[in-house]
Structure 1
Amino acid sequence: MKEENNSTTTELNQGNAVKIYSKKAILGFSIIFAPIFGGVLLRQNLIDDNKKKEANIVLVTSILFTILTILIVNSMEKATSLLTYLLNMGWGLILSEYFFKKYFPDNSHVYKNIWKSLFISIAITIPFLLAIIYSPSE
């Protein structure tokens, strides 16, 4: 009987748990796309957990990380995608390891599916890639 009560309690806790994007999703979006994409996922987690002030801090931080990446890469004589990915990884690690752990310290979360966010991110990124590919070079 006691085991049955424990499993029922666990099921109830999972039913009331806030669904969030995982640390891996935040890190992956930060590396593949840009830190702002990972920041938006983490911001959504915080909004879903009723932490609006913290959500805005994370968003501003991820915007600053993205701007810093652009400035650093563009200041180099020869910009490389490796540098961009390394910077994105560094910023993504800060978002996923520092901010995520700060606001979601326990590991008992139900994670959201990333597919919708992935399709939106790709849809946002494609026009920028096309503009880079088809822009006249000097």
Structure 2
Amino acid sequence: MEDKLPKIYSKKAILGFSIFLSTLFGGVLLYQNLIEANKKKEAYTVLGISILITICTAIIVNIPEKPVSALAYVCGFAGGALLSNYFVPKYFPNEEQYPKKAIWKPLIIGVIIVAVLVALAIYSLSAENG
């Protein structure tokens, strides 16, 4: 009898979090999927690639004199597409058969992180101008 399949985050969730937060965030979701499936070596590989893509994104976004935030979305889409269209099918060829995890927990964590970063940015600007 086949073991019960673990709950995982869907390809769409990984892609969405990669686009709107960062490839690192999408990579963490895929990392958690791989840990749940007892694929630790693959999990660390995906996490490392996600970190590299996120570093490259930060460099690319800040190359122009005035950083272009739209580039972050393009890079996030590219990184998310790599994660969801290459790594998910590679490690979860029958992904549609897995029960899906709800995205509320990572969504709340993402919103908190963004809120803290925005608050820090506002604070640093007001301290600079004050």
Using the size of structure 2 for normalisation, the TM-score is: 0.89
1:39 alignment partner AA: G
**Residue in 1 aligned with 2:92?**
104
**Residue in 2 aligned with 1:38?**
26
1:68 aligns with 2:80: no
State the 1:90 CA deviation. 0.5
Counterpart-to-counterpart distance in 1, 2:42 and 2:109:
24
Percent sequence identity over aligned pairs = 51
**Residue in 2 aligned with 1:93?**
81
2:6 alignment partner AA: V
Using the size of structure 1 for normalisation, the TM-score is: 0.85
Counterpart-to-counterpart distance in 1, 2:17 and 2:70:
16
Counterpart-to-counterpart distance in 2, 1:131 and 1:70:
18
Counterpart-to-counterpart distance in 1, 2:123 and 2:69:
18
**Residue in 2 aligned with 1:8?**
none
Counterpart-to-counterpart distance in 1, 2:29 and 2:54:
15
What is the RMSD of the two structures over their aligned residues, measured on CA atoms?
1.8
| Range with bigger deviation, 81-90 or 121-130 | 121-130
State the 1:123 CA deviation. 1.3
Q: What residue ranges of structure 1 are gaps of 5+ in the alignment?
A: 1-11
1:120 aligns with 2:109: yes
State the 1:72 CA deviation. 0.8
Structure index of larger Rg: 1
Aligned residues: 126
CA deviation map 1:115-136 (0-9, x unaligned): 0111011112211122223322
Counterpart-to-counterpart distance in 1, 2:36 and 2:9:
10
Runs ≥4 in structure 1, deviation > 3 angstroms?
none
Give the 3-state SS of the residue equivalent to 1:111 in structure 2. coil
State the 1:77 CA deviation. 1.6
**Residue in 1 aligned with 2:36?**
48
